[in-house]
Amino acid sequence: MLVGHERTGPATHMPSTPGGERKYQAIARDLRAAIHRGEYAPGMRLPGENDLMRGYDVARMTARQALAVLINEGLAVPRKGAGVYVRDFLPIIREGIAQLSTFTWVSGRSIWSADTGSRDLRVDQVEVHQDDPPDRIRVLLELEPDARVVVRSRRVVLAGKPVLLSTSYLPAAIVAGSRIEQDDTGAGGTYALLAELGHGPERFREDLRSRMPEPDEAERLGIPAGTPVVDIIRSAYSATKVVEVNEMTADASAYIFRYDFGA
């Protein structure tokens, strides 16, 4: 069954406005409109390359190019051997300020607990070691040229899907030998521990920037084509110095970043 041989077969979609517009663009626009109309719901399969070739009477590469448009927009996700599907996602709301309030971190709750609701959260690929800091980190931490840092890197996995890579740099002069060099820093995490050491952070800065991932990042985060990442660089300041710089890379489709503040 399947397609049979419907030669005058009514296309899955009718072509439209061929005036000046490229074929692949017209096809992409038809599909995009159908998605927005809800004709293809999130998770549903879209017409494949063969469907489009027959329906619009175009060559394979042209049909592919049309699908590539939607894929690069992040509206669709290809699955090898199975088809192209409408994307569905469920973003986490990350409270950029509230999560760092004193209340949150001294009370021993995870910094991420507010973000994830009831979904299953795990941290893996934890790695802790001492090292020379990269130049950009040394600048941000305002360290002497020969100062060393403790590097804590980890990956956050939510409901089975990796959503964030995090690498935290702390001056070795402050934290060397403390619990921070263990995989599990205990209740309250890094900031509670810094407070115990007399360097509790009082001010924070977060710089956010968005870009397309490189292949290795896309793999570690399990990101399909057409999904940006957000880089977050957070600096934590005690009363007198910079006590931590945390570089994070997040799957942009997994997050909403929220900042609340007064005038």
Per partner kind, with CB cut-offs from 5 to 8 A, the member of DNA, a second copy, none near residue 22 is DNA
Residue 135 neighbours by CB under 8 Å, 6+ apart? none
Task: Write the CA distances from 139 to 61, 87, 93, 136, 241, integer angstroms.
Answer: 49, 40, 31, 5, 13
CB closer to a second copy, 85 vs 204: 204
Q: x-or-dash pattern for a second copy, window 108-147, by CB under 8 A?
A: ----------------------------------------
Per partner kind, with CB cut-offs from 5 to 8 A, the member of a second copy, DNA, none near residue 255 is a second copy
CB closer to DNA, 51 vs 247: 51
251 binding DNA? (CB under 7 A): no
CB closer to a second copy, 17 vs 102: 102
With beta carbons less than 8 A apart as the criterion, state whether 78 and 57 touch: no
Q: Classify the phi-psi angles of 82: left when phi > 0, otherwise alpha if psi is within -120 to 50, otherwise beta.
A: alpha
Per partner kind, with CB cut-offs from 5 to 8 A, the member of a second copy, DNA, none near residue 50 is DNA
Q: Interface with DNA by CB under 7 A: which range of 6-14, 59-67, 159-167, 173-181?
A: 59-67
* Total interface residues for DNA by CB under 7 A: 27
45 DSSP 8-state letter: B
CA distance 17 to 23: 10
CA-nearest of 144, 153, 174, 147 to 236 is 174
With beta carbons less than 8 A apart as the criterion, state whether 201 and 238 touch: yes
Q: x-or-dash pattern for a second copy, window 11-50, by CB under 8 A?
A: --------------x---x--x------------------
Encoded tokens for 23? 């074929």
CB closer to a second copy, 83 vs 89: 89
